[in-house]
Amino acid sequence: MKRIARKGFGRHVWAAAGLAVRLVVCMVLGIGVAAPVAADEDDAARMLQVVRGNGPELRRFLQAFPKGGELHSHLTGAVYAETWLDWAAEDDLCLDKTYKSIVMPGKGGCDADGGITAANARLIEDARRTFIDSVSLRSFLPYAGWSGHNQFFATFARTTARPERFGDMLAAVAERAARQNILYLELMHTLGFGDIFPLVGGLEMTGDVAADYRTLMDSPFGAARGDLVAGMRGQIAAAYARKDALLGCGTDEAKAGCDVEIRLLHQVIREFEPALVFAQFILGWAAVAEEPAYVGMNLVAPEDGFIALRDYTLHMRMIDHLYRNEGARNVALHAGELTLGLVRPKQLRFHIREAIELGHAKRIGHGVAIAYEDDSHGLLAHMAENGILVEINLTSNDVILGVAGSDHPWALYRAAGVPMALSTDDEGVSRIDLTHEYQRAVTTYNLGYGDLKTLSRASIEYSFLDPEVKERLMLTLEERFRRFEAGAR
C-alpha cells in the first residue's frame, strides 16, 4: 500500500486535474481555492463532470481512478510490438524477409532466407515500422479482402519468443497495470499445447463425449497427463519467479507491479479437430485442480472459424462432461463475438445460451450477439438473476466486428441488470490499455462516477480468485477509492 502511495495512485486528484480544473471545481462547490472541504464520493463525481469534455484531463482522472481488475486479457496479445522486437533482439532471433514476423534463426542464420536479425531490424526504420504495424492495429485501415478481424487474428502467428520470456510477459503487463491503479490481472495463456499434439494425432473421435474421453485417457495422452501438468506447473513457477526478479519484488527497490495480483486462465484453442480440443480441455481440467495460479478455463480463437462453428455445441458438451464427471471448475467463455454479416443468421441464435447452460460459463467474453439469441429477454434475465458477468471489450468489438456506440449491446445488458466489467482483450495488439477502455465507456455511454465504481468493483467480485484473496482485494479497492476521493476536493 505504501508503495502505491509513493507512485502517486493515492495522491490528491488535484495533481491529476491541473490548476484550471481545480479552480472550476472550487467554483462549482462554491469554495475558495484553499478552503478545506470534507472529501467524499460526491466530490469525485463533480470532478468527473468537470473533466468529462476534456480528453487529456479525463485520461489523467481515469488513470488514477482505482480500476479493480482486468478479467479478459490474452497474455501474448497484451505485449506491445516494440517489446517483442526488443526480446527478439536480445535473444538473437530474426525477422523474416517481409519484416512482418519474428522467426527463429535457421542453420544459415537470419540472412539465409532473406531475413534480418531483430537487432538490426530495430535500427532500420522501414523494418521496424513494418513489423510494428504487422503485429498490431497501429496505422491499420481495412482494404478489399482484409478487415480489422483479419488483421487482429493474424497478429498472433507473427510473434514468438523463447519460453523463458513467459516471466517477462508477466512483468511487463503487471507494471503497466500498476501504473493505472489496477489491483488484479486474470490472464489467458496456453501451455502444454505443443506437447499434446503428437500424443493425440490419428485418434478418431465419435462425438459421444463419454466414449471419446475414455479413448483419450486410454491413449498415450492419458498416460502422460500427470507429467504434462507437472511440466506446466514448472513453467508457471519459473515465470512467476522471473517476474518477481525483474520487478525486484521483496526488495527495497520493488516496482509497483509487485503489488498486482496475477492469476491465469488455461486457454483452449478451438480451431482444431475434436481430439486435440478435447485433450486441451482434459489437460486444463487437471491443471486447474492442481496449480493454484490457475483459476479457470477459457476457449479461444475466432468464434466464426469453420471448426469453431461446426463444433461449437460439441465443445460445450466436452466441458459439460468434464464438469459433471471430474468436478466443477471456473469457466469463462468467448461467446457471441459475432455479428450479422460475419456469419449466417442461424449461427447468432444460440452461442451465448449454450455457453451458459451447457458450457457452465460463469462469465461471457464479448457477448456482442446477445440481441440475436433466441429468447434474448429470457436469457438476459437468467444472466442477471444468476450473476453471469459480461466482459466488455469496446475497442476490440469495434475493430474486429465493426460494432460500436449505440450498436453495441451495452445498454441492453445494463437495462437488464446483467453485471459488466470493462476489459482490453489484447492491449498490445490494439495499442490500448484499460484506462483507454474506461475513457471510451465514459464518453460513449455518459457514465457517472457511481457507474465507474460499479464496473471496478465487479471486476474483483466476479473474478475467479479464492474467497480470502477476493475479500482482501475488495478491501484494498475500497481503501483506494477512499484515498482517491479524498483528493477530489
Written as one string, the DSSP assignment of 408-476 is STHHHHHHHT--EEE--B-HHHHT--HHHHHHHHHHHHT--HHHHHHHHHHHHHTS---HHHHHHHHHH
* Region for 225 from its dihedrals, namely left if φ exceeds 0, alpha if ψ lies in -120 to 50, beta otherwise: alpha
Mean of the per-residue pLDDT values for the chain? Answer: 92
C-alpha cell at 451: 457507474
Helix, strand, or coil here: 392?
A: strand
- Kindly report the CA angle at 472 between 471 and 475, in degrees rounded to 5? 85
C-alpha cell at 113: 532466407
Residue 396: CB atoms within 10 Å: 27
Query: Sheet holding 389-392: strands in order across?
Result: 332-335, 363-366, 389-392, 420-422
One-letter amino acid of 350 = F
Give me the numbers of helices (H) and strands (E) for the chain, helices first please.
25, 11
CA distance 130 to 101: 9
Residue 377: CB atoms within 10 Å: 10
Q: Give the list of residues 6+ apart from residue 156 with CB closer than 8 angstroms, or none.
A: 76, 77, 429
**Domain ranges within the chain, ordered by starting residue:** 2-66, 69-74+163-483, 80-158
CATH superfamily of 69-74+163-483: Metal-dependent hydrolases (3.20.20.140)
The string of pLDDT tens digits covering residues 184-240 is 999 999 999 999 999 998 899 999 999 999 999 999 999 999 999 999 999 999 999
C-alpha cell at 189: 495463456
Chain centroid offset of residue 359 CA: 20
Q: What is residue 207's DSSP assignment?
A: S
Residue burial 243-268, b: 16+ Cβ < 10 Å; e: rest? bbebbebeeeeebbbbbbbbbbbbbb
Side-chain half-sphere exposure of 77, counting CA atoms within 13 A: 26
Burial class of residue 149, CB neighbours in 10 A (0-12, 13-18, 19+): middle
pLDDT along the chain (489 residues), means of 10: 37 38 38 42 95 97 98 98 98 96 92 92 97 97 95 97 97 98 98 95 95 98 98 98 98 98 98 97 98 98 98 98 98 98 97 98 98 98 98 98 98 98 98 98 98 98 98 98 89
Contact by Cβ (8 Å): 80, 73: no
Residue-level pLDDT at 489: 67
One-letter amino acid of 393 = N
Side-chain half-sphere exposure of 341, counting CA atoms within 13 A: 6
Provide the angle, in degrees to the nearest 10, between the axes of the packed helices 312-325 and 209-217.
Answer: 70
Residue-level pLDDT at 15: 38
Nearest alpha carbon to residue 231 among 283, 275, 189: 283
Residue-level pLDDT at 201: 86
